[in-house]
Amino acid sequence: MDAPFAVEAENIFFSYASELPVLRGLSMRVERGCFACVLGHSGCGKSTLLNLVMGLSRPSSGVVKINGAEAEGPGTDRAIVFQDCSLFPWMTAQENVAFAIRHARKITKQASAALAADFLSQVGLYESRGKYPNQLSGGMKQRVAIARALAMDSEIWLFDEPFSALDPQMRRSLQSLVSGLAKCGRPRTVLFVTHNVDEAVTLGERILFMNGGVISGDFEVPFGYPRVPEEIAGTQEYFSLVSRLAERFCDAGRAEEARQ
């Protein structure tokens, strides 16, 4: 029987070298097929949590589980988009995406190239598919990284503020693309890190508020899919949830100032 939770963290502690713990007993569970946004101030440990879920780091104590089994390292069941793109500089945009596809899907070089071109088209980069990373802007490189993650067809998608380098129009377009692909066909489990309240409410069905190295709040988003941001933004439910999250942000900021 499949595990009901795609991602589990049980009493996780994590420190970098001799520094104080970044994560301090963090626990959470994310159901299979859930789109969960991890919301919190910069520096609260959101990126660290994604690295642990991806298997790029190991907790100092506690356990991270993927589909019921302890995470032993990276795997193609998970795809991640970092803030810094992490593209191979010697490969073109299409080659970067196709390489990940071949590794994850085990298909031919020709099929992976065609699929890479399709996903680059979906993020608006078909005409730039033959360019190398040093020929692309920061926002374009980030879109290549997003196309690469989506094209891998992994069960779990991990996003670390993937739209931060994009203009508002492209951000909305890719929000729609990611949420649409996550919820059509085979549903994906998504952990989407952001410090943008509007983005969390626009995308997620659960919002996990992170503060002080733990998940300090778990909010249900009262909107189904597909969503039209302009429509939900005018509702009382949207205003109420955004207000609660903004208040939580302010409280967390005051608490952090007090600790310093």
| Confidence (pLDDT) at 31 | 95
State residue 112's pLDDT score: 95
pLDDT value of position 259: 60
Per-residue confidence in pLDDT tens, the chain, 260 aa: 467 899 999 999 999 876 788 999 999 999 999 999 999 988 889 999 999 999 999 999 999 999 999 998 999 999 999 888 789 999 999 999 999 999 898 899 999 999 999 999 999 999 999 999 999 999 999 999 999 999 998 999 999 999 987 889 999 999 999 999 998 878 899 999 999 999 999 999 999 999 989 999 999 999 999 888 999 998 999 999 999 999 998 887 776 665 65
> What kind and span of H or E run contains 139?
helix 138-151
**Does the model's pTM come out above 0.75?**
yes
Q: Report the distance separating Cα 202 and Cα 171, nearest Å.
A: 12
Contact predicate 50/101, CB 8 Å: no
Give the pLDDT confidence score for residue 20 in this predicted structure: 80
DSSP H or E segment with residue 251: helix 236-259
Answer yes or no: CATH 3.40.50.300 is held by domain 33-45+84-157+164-259.
yes
Query: What span, in angstroms and rounded, lies between the C-alpha atoms of 90 and 237?
Result: 48
Please state, in angstroms and rounded to a whole number, the distance separating the CA atoms of residues 196 and 201. 9
Q: Would you state the pLDDT for residue 1?
A: 44
Q: Are 44 and 210 in contact (CB under 8 A)?
A: yes
pLDDT at 236: 96
Tokens representing residue 162 in the block = 């993937």
